[in-house]
Structure 1
């Protein structure tokens, strides 16, 4: 098993901090409570029950522990606690969770013993309301639990105060089930040592169990003792239990559940490492308190690192007056309140409680970029501007030059441009992140262009060239009708404008994080420069800047790969051996589940995804038409197809290399980041000065190539399919001017959408919107396939096919019946089948363009 691997990193040397700690108002109690319940109800923080020694004493002074039923409420961080009600009985040391608008209380103990009761606590209009839940199968205290979706899980604990052995049964309760059907279910038995006071957690709907204390009787004196554990486990209902890397040290009774940090980390704040357990009676008031280390577990690399420390302030009066100091607490729940981690009250040294409440808010360390890095980026921008100025001087003021470059683009440049237009900044970020987090299963999706290229060359390209199209959707008018063309064009324009905002916003978000530039400056700067050269030089400027950008993009990524490998002790050999041993190079899932990316799903879906892109996307097809002949266009298509192979290998290998690197350097990864941030984070924190600038320039290049391609293609479609349609008498000069103005408007619109998304501060709505709109891509490809291969399909049929497939795909997506790779296959099949049937029922008198 992989143990903890740590070394000093640049982030640590710079004093990077991932949590901003502060004190909330203290509980209105002189001593505070251990074992209290805590949660959130209607956005109000609740702390209830627990126990303390009301005379400030300890077991060794003869003091008696007292349990409480008071419920305290805090409506905002700067507010004041108030006593809002009572629990059904004095209770503490149970499991407490937050579910919807209620605090869930499970089990616990009082002076009489342990209990099996479970109930909900809600805060409504300043008052406390409780609601019964099914009781546990047996009494339980000192256990731990977590909420996964609507299911509450409980593990560990003891059934009585006199128990000499803890439980290892894992129980679950579906809180969303009807009341008469709710019951505790026994899950697969926990295989590790039985334990109390463990820490549980969850990420990606999986249950994690960390540390805890195993109870046993000492053979010598028959006294009940604790073994402080540092093992870790993961539970998936379908796959069962799996042992993980051990913690660096035990974290018994640390606040639980573990804090889900970012998308791939779980944080454990403090805990009792047990090193002083045998000296408690001797140390008494001189006990230094429990650990303040915040441990971070990376669920992807299965490694541990120190992420932070809990806020502490030990004063000289700490021994006699512990409340004057701030300590790291144990035996208290961890509560997530408005995105922050709250540690309410708890035990700060044996028998001593605290009324203080700590709150830690996740923060991102600022990006660091040197002036040399900025110099490299500046050189890149000067090259972009220089190319656009040079090209704009040669461009004629006509639509042929603006849209098609006068048909004089060399085949190799057109091929590089096709590649550059489809390799967006999202791909630059997402492919390494996917390989880092999983494996190489998605590689085959990229490589299917090799199978699609000959089909496009021999079946689609001759039509596009023979008809001398400017907009690919003009084919739909020639083959079917103006209404079909308008439908296809409008679908493309809506999708691309929506995508334009996304491809500006998300890279700007990453660039802002890693460089420290204001995000609005990133958005506006990139938008202005890209719009300027797109307007000045048209498609020719777009193509030639993309040629340069592809070089920067691939060169930066390759240099980064070499640097990562060389930073490993064993170089590329270590990279390949470690990744292979953990199956990180897996390229196929040999199963038959249609909802998963199994081999045949990826092959079929990847083939049709590439067919959609290379047969019906104006951004790509427009490049076919910039060359001087069909032969040159064929070469450009094959150039792109061949280039995809090494490029995909580089980016997937970068992701795998990042996994190996962060496996050995877990402390250097931002635990608060998204998985998609892993490559940009490495660039900003670990690459040497100059090389970081080159790779960030590559990220700018990927962003700008996508933006410029989209803007020019949208302007082409809007001018050709809409402006000329509604103003057929317009001159070529008027169309050229309109196209330029349209490009400016598109640049401004994309910029505004990206800025709006910053204020929205939530991309999920946009992601969902784009996913729905993106479904139309398969329907659009179905229209082209129907037109080229099925001569009997008419305009009525193809319109019906488009509508039926779009509606059906919406419900297919909502149901999750198939993997998203199969969306294009379903779209094409539904569109063509429906179109064929409708065309047979309602034949069109118009003689269609002959299909192949």
Structure 2
């Protein structure tokens, strides 16, 4: 162990130097701006259609005033039908065809490999036409869509998967009022079956030139212009709107927070970033509208602010600025300057937001094509924070050294700590082993994004604990088990034991890389340390103390880690609350007024986390964990007596209550804080990033280090628990099959070696996931493997409570349960909380009846 300390400290030093050298470089805003080649027209276009087809950027149609002929100089608007294509960012625009007619100011969107064009106007008025443009073999092909129910232009729209939504606009150029209705169309339907569906009229004033958006499958409508006339006056007046609305399919329209100012005619749709943000670029706030006739070429242009809307906190913030650079001759030569355009679409192409052309001041277009690339801010982690984290790692190493000196070289000491672990330490260890870094992040994020409905799931351990104590624990203690799956061999057959052990191993080994990789993503983002260093450092230190000190080192480090974990979270809660004007009182009153403390949904919907689903699913989820998971059960067996084992179980159950309160309160407090400080929230972040983001950006130096040490603690606790449990099961259940004559010393050496191998394997899987840049395949894989958890619990439940269930029956029950749950998960909408219930019930019932209808398997199976 001593030989490992110096290289580990050197590794920490490298991490520290890496962080300090990166400093605190932060972008001026959350977007990096560049420009693509200018459009091939001297004056540019406004109201063009734009999208992506066959990985190429398409810009089609639009209108302008050629030769600088503004209306006040007698100029006439010219409409265009050319389709321009840019295949590469550093390439050149080329014409690839024409629209069916000259057209502009319609709705455009990218759908699969096509540009969708709907409505619009030209010199003949507004149109009902809709069509798809596909770029193939250097040419554009057109496919007709159903006509709109009525002619429409100056509307806004956005696409959600296959469904295109449109709202607002006007039916004719001379209309004195805009429209309040909208439509949707499912483009995935066969061409002959596509139909426009009329949406319910949106509340608020009728409008045109609004901004649309899609976030989490909901359609948003922002700002716009309301047109009207006064009695006896034919003049069309404009009111620039700031209201905003959200449409949820099947539930209708809902009012949301108003904008700080109007963003009429801003590039649309809004840019969706992260999991809860919509970004609006510029727009017309109406400040100079009434003066446009007098200002003419002296018009200063439109707003260049980037406004971000957070769908969770229902709040607005300025998240950046568009790159306005006006040259000295901007009045006479507007194309020589960069402006913030309006009346143009937004397109996502090659990971960038593209804003092609547009109107930069009344009657003036631009051929410039702006691009915005989302940028993440740098780490705000400081030297003091790293000193705190470094101290935490030294404590971990110190505990490991102390334990290793006193540990005997036996499997009893390595797997069970010699049966001398105090009940309170075992209880804290049970708690620490189940509170992973993902939980540390996910519980506050869940409370921040929703409410406290999941809180009751955690509380079900209080109900399950007495059942474990009075029905399961006596079996486990009396039989003097090391691997919990040895019980299955005693109760059923060796074959059943191997089935249970193998299921546990496949799940835990697969999970090991994930629980290293995902927290490392967060740690890397928060600290600024390269993710590979995070993975290697965490894996190396955890493997070192797990392999050298066995379960005793794991337990005592977990005791310390629980203190760091809860202490950091509690201090964060205090700091968040103190940063609000009203303190804790504001958190409780404001959150309560907005339903953030809701504990239960009182419906009977089997697809939602309603009260009975939480109770049933939470109860069986906890039963699965505390009755059949080697990681947990192994800790019952490290105490000297059954009485102390009972005390350890109750200690864990009671500790869950204050811990859950702390973490849920942290999430609720974060919601209140960011509701009042929306500009301090990362617009590109995912919901699960909210607590780490606050830690890195808002906590004072030192305290941030303590909380991140807590995140390291949660990560290392989960890793070490899994490695020791896997090593226990492999050594106890599988090693004797290949080395039946091995003595205890040989099994002890094997256990240490397998622990090191597991550390290397977990680190390798995590590094492989880094190279993939995508965990969705692994997520699906783990979801399938995770189906077996409930089936395992069913085996134990049947073994203890149903004496007639035999080996043959339980294997059949396990198999049918796993297959059935796979299809339930894949083809039904049942809430995931009920998966354990489905698995346990099918396993026990099927196993029981299969046992009654057949003979038992031989014990030699």
Relative to the length of structure 2, the TM-score reads 0.96
- The yes-or-no answer on 1:154 pairing with 2:171 is no
Q: Distance in 1 between matches of 2:506 and 2:30?
A: 40
Which residue, out of 237, 243, 251, partners 1:239? 251
* Distance of 2:88 and 2:748 partners within structure 1: 58
- Are 1:576 and 2:581 an aligned pair? no
Whether the 8 Å contact between 1:145 and 1:200 is mirrored in structure 2 is: yes
1:114 and 1:385 map into 2 onto residues whose CA distance is 74
Aligned to 2:13: none
Q: Secondary structure at the match of 2:306?
A: strand
Aligned residues: 838
Match of 2:618 among 603, 606, 628: 606
Does 1:337 find its partner at 2:349?
A: yes
**Aligned-residue offset at 1:221:** 4.1
Match of 1:18 in 2: 30
Match of 2:831 among 815, 819, 822: 819
RMSD of aligned C-alpha atoms?
1.4
Structure 1 position 219, deviation (Å) = 4.3
In the TM superposition, what whole-angstrom CA distance separates every residue of 1:698-734 from its partner, at most 9, and x where no partner exists?
Answer: 0110000000000110111111111112221111111
1:61-76 to 2 correspondence within 5 Å? 61-76=73-88
Taking the aligned partners of 2:91 and 2:819, their CA distance within structure 1 comes to 50
In 2, distance between residues paired with 1:770 and 1:623?
Answer: 25
1:737 aligns with 2:714: no
In structure 2, the CA distance between the partners of 1:72 and 1:138, relative to structure 1 (3 Å rule), is same
Taking the TM superposition and a 5 Å limit, the aligned residue runs for 1:527-566 are: 527-566=539-578
1:222 Cα shift? 2.9
Q: 1:622 aligns with which of 631, 634, 639?
A: 634
Which residue is 1:184 aligned to?
A: 196
Task: Give the aligned partner of residue 212 of structure 2.
Answer: 200
1:451 aligns with 2:463: yes
> In structure 1, what is the Cα distance between the partners aligned to 2:849 and 2:537?
51
Residues 105-158 of structure 1 deviation map (CA, whole Å, 9 limit, x = unaligned): 000011111000011111112110110100000100000111122111111011
Q: What are structure 1's unaligned runs of at least 5 residues? A: 1-10
Aligned pair partner of 1:59 in 71, 95, 103: 71
Aligned twin of 2:763: 751
Distance 1:318 1:800 in 2: 80
Q: SS where residue 784 of structure 1 aligns?
A: helix
Alpha-carbon deviation of 1:363?
A: 1.3
What SS does the aligned partner of 1:619 have?
A: helix
The secondary structure found in structure 1 opposite 2:786 is: helix
What is the aligned partner in structure 2 of residue 4 from structure 1?
Answer: none
Question: What secondary structure, in the 3-state scheme, does the structure 2 residue paired with 1:55 have?
Answer: helix
1:703 pairs with 715, 720, 744, which one?
715
User: How many angstroms apart in 2 are the aligned matches of 1:737 and 1:84?
Assistant: 71
The CA distance in 2 between the partners of 1:13 and 1:495, in whole Å, is: 41
- Structure 1 residue 517 corresponds to structure 2 residue 502: no
What is aligned with 1:256? 268
Task: Please point out which of 393, 413, 417 is paired with 2:425.
Answer: 413
Alignment match of 2:515 (pick from 479, 499, 503)? 503
Alignment check: 8 A CA contact 1:73 1:84 kept = yes
Question: How far 1:220 sits from its partner (Å)?
Answer: 6.8
Tell me whether 725-734 or 611-620 shows the greater mean CA deviation: 725-734
Cα deviation digits, residues 566-606 of structure 1 (max 9, x gap): 11101111110000000000000010110000000011000
Q: Is the 8 A contact 2:381 2:527 kept in 1?
A: yes
Whole-Å separation in 1 of the counterparts to 2:722 and 2:191: 54
CA contact (8 A) 1:12 1:668 kept: no
Q: Distance in 2 between matches of 1:770 and 1:14?
A: 36
Q: 2:803 & 2:480 partners in 1: Cα distance?
A: 21
Deviations 1:50-103 (A, max 9, x none): 011122221111111111111111112122211111111111000001111111
The match for 1:652 is: 664
Deviation at 1:178, TM superposition (A): 2.1
Are 1:50 and 2:95 an aligned pair? no
SS of aligned partner of 2:164: strand
2-structure distance, mates of 1:724, 1:695: 43
- Which residue is 1:3 aligned to? none
Paired residues for 1:660-675 under 5 Å:
660-675=672-687
Q: How much does 1:770 deviate? A: 1.2
Q: Distance in 2 between matches of 1:471 and 1:21?
A: 58
Higher alpha-carbon deviation: 72-81 or 553-562:
72-81
What is the TM-score with the length of structure 1 in the denominator? 0.97
SS at match of 1:550: helix
- CA distance in 1 between counterparts of 2:328 and 2:25 reads 30
Any conservation in 1 of the 2:29–2:321 contact (CA below 8 Å)?
A: no
1:149-200 Cα distance to aligned partner (Å, 9 max, x none): 2111111011111111111112111111122221111121111110001001
Distance in 1 of aligned mates of 2:232 and 2:570: 63
Q: Return the alpha-carbon distance in structure 1 between the equivalents of residues 24 and 428 of structure 2.
A: 41
Distance in 1 (alpha carbons) for counterparts of 2:662 and 2:790: 28
Deviation at 1:845, TM superposition (A): 6.9
The aligned counterpart of 1:7 is none
Shift of 1:13: 12
How far apart are the structure 1 equivalents of 2:707 and 2:824? 39
Q: Distance in 1 between matches of 2:251 and 2:151?
A: 29
- Residue in 2 that maps onto 1:715: 727
CA shift, 1:238, in A, is 2.2
1:585 aligns with 2:597: yes
Separation in structure 2 between the aligned mates of residue 192 and residue 72 of structure 1, nearest angstrom: 38
Any idea what SS the aligned residue of 1:389 has? Answer: helix
Q: 2:400 aligns with which of 388, 410, 423?
A: 388
- Report the secondary structure of 1:448's partner residue: helix
Is 1:320 aligned to 2:343, yes or no?
no
Instruction: List aligned pairs for 1:487-498, cutoff 5 A.
Output: 487-498=499-510
SS at match of 1:333: coil
Structure 2: where are the runs of 5+ without partners?
1-22
Structure 1 residues 170 and 24, CA gap change in structure 2 (3 angstroms): same
Does structure 1 retain, via aligned residues, the 8 Å contact 2:535–2:763?
yes
The CA distance in 2 between the partners of 1:691 and 1:554, in whole Å, is 13
Q: Distance in 2 between matches of 1:12 and 1:244?
A: 35
2:700 — aligned with what? 688
User: Deviation digits for residues 311-343 of structure 1, max 9, x if unmatched?
Assistant: 221111111111111111110001111232110
Distance between the aligned counterparts of 2:485 and 2:142, measured in 1?
63
Task: Quote the Cα distance in structure 1 between the aligned partners of 2:211 and 2:270.
Answer: 6
Instruction: Indicate if the aligned counterparts of 1:594 and 1:601 stay in contact, CA closer than 8 A.
Output: yes
Q: Is the 8 A contact 2:431 2:655 kept in 1?
A: yes
Equivalent residue in structure 2 for 1:774, among 760, 775, 786 = 786
TM-fit CA distance, 1:270 = 0.5
More deviation in 74-83 or 670-679? 74-83
